Amino acid sequence: MWHALIYSCAGGAAVLYALYRWVIPAAVQYHAGLALLWHDYFVERLLDTLTQSTRPQRLLGAVKKNATRGDPRSVVKAIDQFCRQKEWAMNVGDEKGCILDSVVSELNPATVLELGTYCGYSTVRIASMLPPHAKLITLEFNPDYAAVARQVIAWAGLEDKVQLVEGASGDLIPKMSEQFEVETFDLVFLDHWKDRYLPDTKLMEECGLLKKGSVLLADNVICPGTPEYLEYVRASPRYESQYFRSHLEYTKVEDGLEKSVFLG
């Protein structure tokens, strides 16, 4: 009798674990809404409660455990492994990250603005490819995320190349030249909340932060999606725009990056 009870409890726990660990993640990876609901809502809350820590803190733990200090590529690899094997997180990810790398390497920018730092994954990717004396300013309005990102960037040995500024993009963009001594940006990586892409692009134009040849690279233009922004950069004669098809980070859901060259 007791044996039967113990076996059925163990069997039930094994089924639940298999559902949580493999079956549901595999089932939701083709569906944008379900994937975000599962990873970003259910799993994150569950693990936050069970571990009394936050996802960024757990990601930082994985970096400290698995990446080599001063080696940016090992930091990127440790985060990708954490996100593929343990917990999904909203970094640009390995697949779209390769497109980001190729744009950075082609442009060889001296000044870069990143909108949306989160844990510093894309910051590390970009900064590790910049030429000497180049400057990357990254904006993050969540102080908890910013605190983790600073440690991730420092672990990668890139703190001298990166200026992480805490605050909202809409407040900081108009202060770029006066407070941060940057007149124009060669590259802007837009990866903050999606409803800010268009207003912040217009704000950068108004503030004269874009020059002929400046590149806007926008993440998540399909998932969660930025329809007004896409319509604007694709229709405007001031931009030459190109879509790079890919997948939402660590899933099989379609997503992509939009590269838009400012024509002046």
Examine the residue annotation and report whether 160 is marked as an active-site residue of this protein. Answer: no
Positions in 236-255 near ligand SAM (CB under 6 A): none
Q: Tell me: does residue 192 bind ligand SAM (CB under 6 A).
A: yes
- Output 34 or 203, the one with its CB closest to ligand SAM: 203
Positions in 97-116 near ligand SAM (CB under 6 A): 116
Examine the residue annotation and report whether 219 is marked as an active-site residue of this protein. Answer: yes
Using a CB cutoff of 8 Å and minimum separation of 24, what contacts does 191-194 make?
191/92, 191/114, 191/115, 191/116, 191/118, 191/122, 191/218, 191/219, 191/220, 192/115, 192/116, 192/139, 193/116, 194/220, 194/224, 194/225, 194/226, 194/229
- Output 157 or 199, the one with its CB closest to ligand SAM: 199
Q: Of the residues 80, 249, 255, 258, which is catalytic?
A: 249
With CB under 6 A as the contact rule, the residue among 38, 141, 155, 250 that binds ligand SAM is: 141
Examine the residue annotation and report whether 240 is marked as an active-site residue of this protein. Answer: no
With CB under 6 A as the contact rule, the residue among 126, 139, 162, 209 that binds ligand SAM is: 139
Q: Tell me: does residue 169 bind ligand SAM (CB under 6 A).
A: yes
- Output 122 or 184, the one with its CB closest to ligand SAM: 122
Q: Of the residues 186, 219, 255, 258, which is catalytic?
A: 219
Q: Tell me: does residue 140 bind ligand SAM (CB under 6 A).
A: yes
Say which DSSP state 224 is in.
I
Examine the residue annotation and report whether 101 is marked as an active-site residue of this protein. Answer: no
Tokens representing residue 155 in the block: 């672990």
Residue 263 CB, nearest approach to ligand SAM (Å): 26
Residue 244 CB, nearest approach to ligand SAM (Å): 15
C-alpha span between 68 and 197 (Å, rounded) = 34
**Across 94-176, where does the E strand assignment appear?**
111-115, 135-140, 162-166
Residue 114 CB, nearest approach to ligand SAM (Å): 6
Examine the residue annotation and report whether 159 is marked as an active-site residue of this protein. Answer: no
Binding-residue total with ligand SAM (CB under 6 A): 18
Which residues pair with residue 140 across a beta bridge? 166
| Radius of gyration for the chain, computed over Cα atoms and rounded to the nearest angstrom | 20
Tokens representing residue 131 in the block: 């030429």
C-alpha span between 9 and 13 (Å, rounded) = 6
Q: Output the CA angle 124-129-130, nearest 5 degrees.
A: 100
With CB under 6 A as the contact rule, the residue among 38, 82, 121, 155 that binds ligand SAM is: 121
C-alpha span between 28 and 42 (Å, rounded) = 13
Give the binding site for ligand SAM (CB under 6 A): 90-92, 116, 118, 121-122, 139-142, 145, 168-169, 191-193, 196
